Each structure stands twice: as structure tokens, then as C-alpha cells.
């Protein structure tokens, strides 16, 4: 009777405070649906299994909506809309009704409980946080049992430290202490939108995203620089081909080395005066300049 009373109270609270029309209709149907005796349930299940009588399956599902509401109420502390939890539980209920085998001599409520709870838990895992947790069975067990176990252990032994509690929970659920700490941190914090306003004063306001600065260049800028760099390298290599050997040698030693040679040192190396080196360098630079200007003009014309 306690379960029936709890379910009825949940129905009353939901129908009084929700704008979800579908959810309200489901709740009202649950309040009006009659309970099924074991023989009636068995007969309806046989009609569905043997004759694919959808009306029979619907009667089974509707008569157990109170069960869905009761199970959904156990997950209210996750702060998700009760109507959404009920609707997800109803999906699990329909799945159970479609798979139920009356020959197993098990009451439908016992069989359906697992499907209802699994459907609700799956919905919670997908919607409780924008940060997705693990989906393994151990991680799911940690997600849905952490709070209960933490309270239980702290109540039984008040001398336990937080780390003692975490280690105990990790051993019971077969996960690492780090997993327990991470999940506990997720429960103690909330998701925050980067688009949420962050108002410092009347003159300076914006969103949290505005305060996130990435000093690295954007990917399109990196690609553009790489393409431009390759193009410039090709232009320079082509331009160097128009120089004679002496001009090329002077340009390489004077312009293309990290430590450019002096006019005097290069003149001694080549057996000419430093003034002659300067003249050859100037002529080579002019030839390169004219070539590069002509190439750029041709590319611009093609574009």
C-alpha cells in the first residue's frame, strides 16, 4: 500500500505542475487503469504472444503505469523532469510487454521492473550532464550508487575519512578510486554554458567564451601560411635559375646564409675587390626583383 500511495502522490504532483500534455495524459491514464489479477494478466499476455493482439499488450502496459511512476520517482534527485523520466520508463514498459513470456510463471511487474529502470537510467546517463560519463556496467553502477553508498558508509562509521569512503566504494563496485573521485566531483558541480553572460560592471560585459583566449593561430591561418611559404620558395628557386654562377655564389653567401659574408671577405675568396662584389650583388638583386615582380603580376592576372 505504501508503494501505491507514493505513486498516487507523484501523479498528483506531476499533473498539477507540468505543462507537458503527453505526460499529463499518461498520468491520468495510470490513475484510471484497473489492476490486473494474475489470471487476467496471463490471458492478455497469451493473446499478445499468440495472436499479436495489440489491444491486449496495451492493457498490460497501461495497468502497470503506476509501477513506472513509482520507479521514476526514485530518480528525482537527478533533477531531471519527472514527466520525462516517466515517459522513458513507459518506453521500457512497452519493451517489456512486447518481450514478456507468460509461460515463465513470473508476474509481469517483476519482469518489467528491469526494463523500466534500464530505460530511465539510460535516459539519465544521456541527459544528466553534457559531459558524458563511462558507459560500462561498472561505471553505470558507480553513477547510480555513489550517493547512496557514500551516505551509508558515512552514517555507519563517522570516523571514516573521505578517502576511506572512496576506497570502500571502489572495492564494492569494482572501479578505481580515481573513478570514484571523478564521479563525486561531477556530482558536486554543475554544467555551465560558455555563452552564459558574465557581467563585471555596466560597461564591461560579455560571455564566458570571451574570456577564453587561445594564443595559437587558427588552422586556416596555418594552412594559408604553409601554402604561401611553398609558393614563395618555388618563386625564389625559379628566380635563382636566371643568375650566372658568380651572381648566384654572391647571393648565396650574402643573402641566403644565416651569417652573411662581408663584401671584403667575399672579395678575397673570389679574387675580386669588395666594390666589384657590391656591384655584382646589386645587379643580381635587380634581376631577382624584376623576375619576381613579373611572376606575381602574371599570377594576379590569372586569378
Q: pLDDT tier at 125 (50, 70, 90 boundaries)?
A: confident
- The reported pLDDT for the residue numbered 4 is 39
Range with lowest mean pLDDT among 71-85, 135-149, 263-277: 135-149
Query: Rounded to two decimals, what is the model's pTM?
Result: 0.49
Mean pLDDT, range 203-217, rounded to an integer:
67
CA distance 159 to 53: 59
Stretch among 163-172, 265-274, 289-298 having the lowest mean pLDDT = 289-298
Helix (H) or strand (E) holding 70: helix 65-73
pLDDT of amino acid 6: 41
pLDDT at residue 220, as a whole number: 75
Cell of 280: 655584382
What is the chain's length?
Answer: 303
Answer positive or negative: Cα dihedral of 86, 87, 88, 92: positive
pLDDT at 113 over 90: yes
Cβ neighbours of residue 147 closer than 8 Å, sequence gap 6 or more: 77, 187
| Residue 5 Cα distances to 166, 226, 248, angstroms | 36, 71, 97
Asked if the model's pLDDT at residue 237 lies above 60, the reply is: yes
pLDDT for 302 equals 42
**So what's the pLDDT on residue 158?**
80
C-alpha 106/C-alpha 140 separation (Å) is 27
Question: Cell numbers at residue 245, please?
Answer: 654562377
Query: For residue 58, is pLDDT > 50?
Result: yes
The region of weakest confidence among 79-93, 207-221, 247-261 is: 207-221
- For residue 112, what pLDDT is reported? 93
For residue 52, give Cα distances in angstroms to 45, 49, 82: 9, 6, 32
* Alpha-carbon span 31 to 155, nearest angstrom: 38
pLDDT above 90 covers a percentage of the chain that reads 9
With vertex at residue 279, the alpha carbon angle to CA 273 and CA 285, rounded to the nearest 5 degrees, is: 135
Please tell me the least confidently modeled range out of 11-15, 258-262, 264-268.
11-15
**Taking all residues of the chain, what is their mean pLDDT, rounded to a whole number?**
77
Per-residue pLDDT for 9 more than 60? Answer: no
Measured distance CA(158)–CA(286) in Å, rounded: 87
Amino acid at each position: 500500500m505504501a508503494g501505491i500511495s507514493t505513486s498516487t502522490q507523484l501523479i498528483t504532483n506531476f499533473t498539477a505542475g507540468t505543462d507537458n500534455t503527453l505526460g499529463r495524459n499518461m498520468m491520468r491514464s495510470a490513475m484510471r487503469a484497473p489492476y490486473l489479477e494474475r489470471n487476467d494478466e496471463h490471458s492478455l499476455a497469451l493473446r499478445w504472444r499468440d495472436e499479436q493482439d495489440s489491444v491486449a499488450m496495451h492493457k498490460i502496459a497501461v495497468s502497470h503505469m503506476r509501477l513506472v511512476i513509482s520507479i521514476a520517482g526514485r530518480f528525482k534527485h537527478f533533477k531531471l523532469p519527472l514527466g520525462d523520466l516517466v515517459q522513458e520508463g513507459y518506453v521500457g514498459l512497452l519493451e517489456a510487454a512486447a518481450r514478456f513470456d507468460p509461460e515463465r510463471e513470473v508476474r509481469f511487474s517483476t519482469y518489467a521492473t528491469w526494463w523500466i529502470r534500464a530505460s530511465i537510467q539510460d535516459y539519465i546517463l544521456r541527459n544528466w550532464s553534457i559531459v558524458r560519463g563511462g558507459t560500462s556496467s561498472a561505471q553505470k553502477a558507480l553513477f547510480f550508487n555513489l550517493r547512496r553508498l557514500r551516505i551509508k558508509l558515512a552514517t555507519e562509521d563517522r570516523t571514516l575519512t573521505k578517502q576511506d569512503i572512496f576506497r570502500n566504494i571502489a572495492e564494492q563496485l569494482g572501479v578505481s578510486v580515481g573513478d570514484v573521485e571523478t564521479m563525486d566531483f561531477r556530482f558536486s558541480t554543475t554544467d555551465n554554458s560558455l555563452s552564459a553572460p558574465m557581467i563585471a560592471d555596466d560597461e564591461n560585459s560579455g560571455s564566458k567564451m570571451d574570456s577564453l583566449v587561445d594564443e595559437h593561430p587558427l588552422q586556416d591561418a596555418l594552412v594559408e601560411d604553409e601554402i604561401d611559404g611553398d609558393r614563395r620558395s618555388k618563386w625564389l628557386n625559379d628566380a635563382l635559375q636566371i643568375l650566372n654562377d658568380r651572381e648566384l655564389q654572391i647571393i648565396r653567401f650574402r643573402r641566403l646564409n644565416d651569417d652573411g659574408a662581408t663584401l671584403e671577405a667575399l672579395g678575397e675568396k673570389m679574387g675580386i675587390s669588395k666594390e666589384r662584389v657590391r656591384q655584382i650583388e646589386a645587379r643580381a638583386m635587380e634581376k631577382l626583383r624584376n623576375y619576381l615582380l613579373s611572376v606575381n603580376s602574371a599570377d594576379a592576372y590569372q586569378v
